[in-house]
A and B are shown apart, each in its own frame.
Chain A
Amino acid sequence: MALDFDGVYRAEYGRCVATLTRLLGDIGLAEEAVQDAFAVAVQRWTELPPNPGAWIVTTARNRAIDRLRRESTRESRHVQAMLLHQPDEPVEVGPVRDDQLRLIFTCCHPALSPVARTALTLRLIGGLEVAEIARAYLVPEATVFQRITRAKKKIRDAGIAYRVPADADLPDRLASVLTVVYLVFNEGYASTSGELLRTDLCLEAVRLARALAELMPDEPEVLGLLALLLLTEARRPARVGPSGELLVLPEQDRSLWDRRLIAEGHELVRRCLRRDQPGPYQLQAAINAVHTDGPATDWTQVLALYDQLLAHTPTPIVALNRAVAVAEVHGPALALAAIDELDLPGYHLLPATRADLLSRLGRAEEAVTAYDEAIALATNDTERTFLRTRRARLAESQ
C-alpha cells in the first residue's frame, strides 16, 4: 500500500495536537511534540502503522517526556513531567473528540481577536500550514505567523482555560466557534483571491461542523450550521463550468449536485424544524433546503424565510440576499427599491446585484455602470471574469 503521508498528516494533526494539549496543558509544547513525532514518522515509516494517530500520540508523548526530563531544572517543568508520567491513560480512544472540542473552544475564545481565532483554528484543528492560511486570507505569511504566535502567548499568559465552557457561557462561546467554522467554509467556497474554490477549506469546515454536531446534538444552531454547509457543499460540483467559469443558480446543472449530502442536509433541517428554535444558521440552512428541493426553487418560500432571517439578523448583507428573492417573487423594480438604501462600502455583490436588476429592467446603460463598479471591487479572478462576461453581453445587446 502506498504511504500517503500528507493524507495522514491532514487527518491526524489536529486530533494529535488536541490530545497532547490535554496531556501537557500547553498548546505550544503539544504542537512541538506532534511535529517532532511526525518528523520521526517520516524517517521510520515504511508502511502505515495500523493506527497512525495512536502511533503519533505515543511517540509525541515519549518525545515530550524526554525533553521535559532534559529541561526539568525548573519547578514548572517538573510538574509537567509528572503529568506525563500518569501511567497508561488510553490516549487514542474515547476522549479524543472531546479534546478537539476543548481546543476549538480555546482557539475561539472571545478574548482573542476574530482574525486570530480563525488562523489559530485552521492551524491547530485543521492542521493547515501558515503559508496556506496566508494564501487563503491574502496576508503575508509573517503576519499569520505573528497572529498565531501572539494568540498562543495570550492563551498561556492570560490563563485562557483549555475546556468547553460551562453551560451558562456556552451560547456566547458557541456563537464564536460557529462563526469561525462558517468563515473557514466561506473562504473555501468563495476565496478572496486566486481560484474560486478551495476544496480543502470547505471539507475541513464540514468536518469541524460534523464534530461539533456529534458532540452537541442538542444545539439547534450547530445542526443548522452543519446542514447549511452540507447543502452548500452539495452544490459545489455545479458551481463552475467546464472552463472554470462561475455559474449562478439558474445556470447550474442540478444533476451534478451531491444527492447524498442534500439528503443528509434535509434530514438535519427537518430535525431543526421539529425543535422550533430558529436561529440564523438554521434559517440559512432552510433557504438552501428549498433551493435543493425538487427541480426548481420555490422563491415564495425562500422569500418568507429571508423575511424571518432579516427580522432575526437585520444586516445589510441579509437585506441584499433577500432582495434577490424579492426580484423573483415581486419583480426587479421592487427589489431595486429594496437595495437602493443599503450601505455596503467595498462589497462587490451590491453593485453586481444592482447591475443584474437594472439589466432585467431594461436600463442597460445604468447596468453597465453598476457592472463596472462591481468589477472594480471584486477580488476573485473567477468572479471578475463572470462580471465582465455579463457586462460584455449587455453592451452587445444595446
Chain B
Amino acid sequence: MKQYLIAVQYDESAPPETGDELREQMARTGKVTDDMKAAGSWVFVGGLLPSHATTVVRPGNGTTTMTDGPFAETKEQLGGLWVVRCEDLDEALSWASKCALACRQPVEVRPFHDGSED
C-alpha cells in the first residue's frame, strides 16, 4: 500500500462563494471523506484558510527570517488536502476524481516517499 496526497489547487482570484455554495461544497467533500473512511482508504483530511494567513520561515546563517505571504505568489494556492492509502495510482486517481468533482477545483495527486531505496 502507498500513501498519496490529494492536494486541492484553489484559485484565490475567483469571486468568493456564497454561504449556500460553501455549505453545499462542504456537504459534497464531507461525503467523499466518509466514503474514504468506509473504504478504509482515509488517512487524513484538512481544509486550509486562504494564503493571506500564511507565513514563510526561511533558514539562513543559523537563524531564520520570516516573511508574510505564501512561498509562491500565484493565484492557485493549496486550498486543502486529503491523504489516502491505496493499492496503486489508479485507486488514488479514482478518489482524486471524486475530490475534484466535490471541490470543483483541480487536485494534484502525489505519492509519499515510502522509505524504499532508489
Binding site for B on A (CB under 8 A): 74, 76, 109, 111, 157-161, 165, 169
B116 contacts A159, C-beta separation under 8 Å: no
The A contact surface, by secondary structure, is loop
Asked if residues A159 and B117 are in contact (CB atoms below 8 Å), the reply is no
Check if A169 sits within 8 Å of B90, measured CB to CB. yes
**Number of chain B residues whose Cβ lies closer than 8 Å to a Cβ of chain A:** 12
* A161–B89 touching, CB < 8 Å: yes
- CB pair A159 B93 closer than 8 Å: no
A157 to B86, CA, bound (A): 13
B75 lies within 8 A of chain A by Cβ: no
Shortest distance between the CB of B87 and any CB in chain A (Å): 8
23 contacts between A and B (CB under 8 A): A74-B117, A76-B116, A76-B117, A109-B89, A111-B89, A111-B93, A157-B111, A158-B89, A158-B109, A158-B111, A159-B2, A159-B86, A159-B87, A159-B88, A159-B89, A159-B92, A160-B89, A160-B90, A161-B87, A161-B89, A161-B90, A165-B90, A169-B90
Contacts of B111 in A (CB 8 A): 157-159
**C-alpha gap A158/B5 in the complex (Å):** 11
Chain B: CB-nearest residue to A76:
B116
Closest to B2 in A: A159
Residue of chain B at shortest CB distance from A155 = B89
By a CB distance below 8 angstroms, the chain B residues around A160 are 88-90
**Cβ contacts under 8 Å, A111 to chain B:** 89, 93
Closest A residue by C-beta to B88? A161
The 7 closest A-B pairs by CB, nearest first: A161-B88, A159-B88, A159-B89, A160-B89, A159-B2, A158-B89, A158-B111
Q: Which of A157, A159, A165, A169 has the most CB of B within 10 A?
A: A159
- What CA separation (Å) do A74 and B118 show in the bound complex? 11
Query: For the complex, what is the distance from the CA of A264 to the CA of B111, rounded to whole Å?
Result: 46
> Complex formed: what's the CA distance from A159 to B91 in Å?
10
With a cutoff of 8 Å between Cβ atoms, the chain A residues found around residue B92 in the complex are: 159
Distance (Å) between the CB of A171 and the closest chain B CB? 14
Within 8 A of A (CB), among B69-86: 86
Neighbouring B residues of A159 by C-beta, 8 Å:
2, 86-89, 92, 111
A316 to B102, CA, bound (A): 34
Q: Which residues of A contact B117 (CB under 8 A)?
A: 74, 76
B89 cross-chain contacts in A, Cβ below 8 A? 109, 111, 158-161
Cα distance, A160 to B91, chains bound together (Å): 10
Chain B CB within 10 Å, residue with most, of A111, A157, A169: A157
In the assembled complex, the CB of B43 is this many whole angstroms from the nearest CB of chain A, namely 15
Taking CB atoms, residues of chain B closer than 8 Å to A157 are 111
The docked-state distance in angstroms from the alpha carbon of A111 to that of B109 is 10
Q: Nearest Cβ distance between residue A167 and chain B, in whole angstroms?
A: 13
The docked-state distance in angstroms from the alpha carbon of A329 to that of B2 is 59
Apart from A111-B89, A161-B87, list 13 A-B contacts with CB within 8 A: A74-B117, A76-B116, A111-B93, A158-B89, A159-B87, A159-B89, A159-B92, A159-B111, A160-B88, A160-B89, A161-B89, A165-B90, A169-B90
Within the assembled complex, what's the spacing in Å between the Cα atoms of A145 and B116? 25
Report the Cα distance A109→B86, complex, angstroms.
17
Residues of chain A contacted by B116 (CB below 8 angstroms): 76
